Amino acid sequence: MAHVVIVGGGFAGVWSAAGAALARGKADLRITLIAPGEHLVLRPRLYEPEPDLAKVELGRILGPIGVEHLRARVGTIDTARRVVVAGGTEVGYDRLVLATGSELVRPRDLPGADRLFDIDTLEGARRLTEHLRGREGFRAVVVGAGFTGLEAATALAARGRVLLVDRAEAVGEQLGPGPRPEIEAALDALGVERRLGTTLTEVGDGYAALSDGTKAEADAVVWTVGMRASELTRQISGRLDHLGRLPVDRWLRATPEVYAAGDTAAAAFDAEHTVMQACQHATPLGKVAGYNAAADLLGLPPRDFTPGPYVTCLDLGGAGAIFTRGWDREVMASGADGASIKKHINQRIHPPVDDAERILAAADHVRLELPFFPRKEPAATA
């Protein structure tokens, strides 16, 4: 029987599995997802105070749709022989979907780097939570005033004093000037101090040393700077983008037999942009890549990747959230309105569980995941 193998159990991997199961219908096709963990980790929620709530059992998604789960880490992909080596076992494939995501780039040469905390993985977020549990009024230094750093800093500011450090001269530099006034106002309201044009030079016992020559007291130093695609992309192609991602065509193929989805895929969003390393894109990329991998084996027409409008929603803790639309990130909602959109998004990213029909129906709706606008109640009529 032909075999689709999906490597990775994040948003892209899970939705690839559902997309492949959708294309399979009642045909004979084996689908296996390989990932070491038992859970889909909802990484966008790892800044929350209880990160263990940000996970969904993979078995409750894969079981109902007839996808096998091999609990292992893939170390080698041999595209010539069409096998992956997972936990010492060779697994053959006819079509492969690479969905192994991304990782925070850690500063290995920084003195005291092993003392850094992060919220990149569930284990990292748990470690930070446990370290700060019961230490109300702690001092934290957050390095990086990008999307993750801003969410981490504003969440921590509810319980401690936070210093936000960035090499750039402005907060949220990559988000552009559109949302900056709201972000700065939120940081002021929460008492988050900023040290811009500055970087971290050392982490010691209870302090962070900075490039401006100062030392900041710190019970925890949280590193949030830099994301890079999984190293497995190198085993598919030597031609990667600046984030280590595989270039793919409109059907999300990196090679005739290997598809890529999520943070490993440099898919075109439009004529000017590639997709972001974001769950907003990982989900539809997964749906399309998995569907096409199975469709290719079953002789069905492939689906084009046609993402919905680009939006962002940045949680600013006690100051609410901002919701932006478009690549210029025009602010559409902020404060409490933004927070209610963020809450809605954080619920919507949970895939349905225990119900094959709902899971497959969601896999069929690539654009409906976006743009995450909360439904407006119709005006009451007399």
Ligand X SMILES: Cc1cc2nc3c(=O)[nH]c(=O)nc-3n(C[C@H](O)[C@H](O)[C@H](O)COP(=O)(O)OP(=O)(O)OC[C@H]3O[C@@H](n4cnc5c(N)ncnc54)[C@H](O)[C@@H]3O)c2cc1C
With CB under 6 A as the contact rule, the residue among 3, 30, 71, 73 that binds ligand X is 73
Task: Please report whether residue 322 would count as binding ligand X according to CB under 6 A.
Answer: no
Is there a cis peptide before residue 177, judged by omega within 30 degrees of 0? Answer: no
Integer Cα distance of 11 and 305 in angstroms: 16
**Which of the ranges 10-18, 49-57, 176-184, 292-300 carries the binding residues for ligand X, by CB under 6 A?**
10-18
Residues 6+ apart with CB under 8 A from 302: 251, 291, 292, 295, 296
**Which of the ranges 42-50, 175-183, 203-211, 250-258 carries the binding residues for ligand X, by CB under 6 A?**
42-50
In the region spanning residues 167 to 196, those forming contacts with ligand X, defined by CB under 6 A, are none
Task: Please report whether residue 44 would count as binding ligand X according to CB under 6 A.
Answer: yes
Task: Please report whether residue 87 would count as binding ligand X according to CB under 6 A.
Answer: no
Nearer to ligand X, 209 or 341 (CB): 341
Task: Please report whether residue 4 would count as binding ligand X according to CB under 6 A.
Answer: no
With CB under 6 A as the contact rule, the residue among 32, 154, 198, 230 that binds ligand X is 230
Least separation in angstroms between residue 318's CB and ligand X is: 18
Task: Please report whether residue 233 would count as binding ligand X according to CB under 6 A.
Answer: no
> Would you say 198 and 165 are in contact if contact means Cβ atoms under 8 Å apart?
yes
Residues 6+ apart with CB under 8 A from 155: 47, 48, 49, 315, 317
Distances (CA, A) of 20 to 2, 84, 237: 12, 19, 23
Number of Cβ within 10 Å of residue 165's Cβ equals 26
Nearer to ligand X, 73 or 159 (CB): 73
Least separation in angstroms between residue 213's CB and ligand X is: 30
Task: Please report whether residue 277 would count as binding ligand X according to CB under 6 A.
Answer: yes
> What SS3 class is residue 370?
coil
In the region spanning residues 109 to 128, those forming contacts with ligand X, defined by CB under 6 A, are 119-120
Integer Cα distance of 227 and 242 in angstroms: 10
**Which of the ranges 94-102, 194-202, 208-216, 355-363 carries the binding residues for ligand X, by CB under 6 A?**
94-102
> Would you say 291 and 139 are in contact if contact means Cβ atoms under 8 Å apart?
no
Number of Cβ within 10 Å of residue 300's Cβ equals 15
Number of Cβ within 10 Å of residue 60's Cβ equals 16
Least separation in angstroms between residue 341's CB and ligand X is: 11
Residues 6+ apart with CB under 8 A from 177: none
Task: Please report whether residue 225 would count as binding ligand X according to CB under 6 A.
Answer: no
Task: Please report whether residue 43 would count as binding ligand X according to CB under 6 A.
Answer: yes
Task: Please report whether residue 243 would count as binding ligand X according to CB under 6 A.
Answer: no
Number of Cβ within 10 Å of residue 43's Cβ equals 25
With CB under 6 A as the contact rule, the residue among 220, 232, 266, 370 that binds ligand X is 232
Site size with ligand X, rule: CB under 6 A = 33
Task: Please report whether residue 324 would count as binding ligand X according to CB under 6 A.
Answer: no
DSSP 356: H
* CA 348 and chain centroid, separation: 14
Give the binding site for ligand X (CB under 6 A).
7-13, 34-37, 43-44, 46-47, 73-74, 99-102, 119-120, 148, 230, 232, 262-263, 277-280, 282
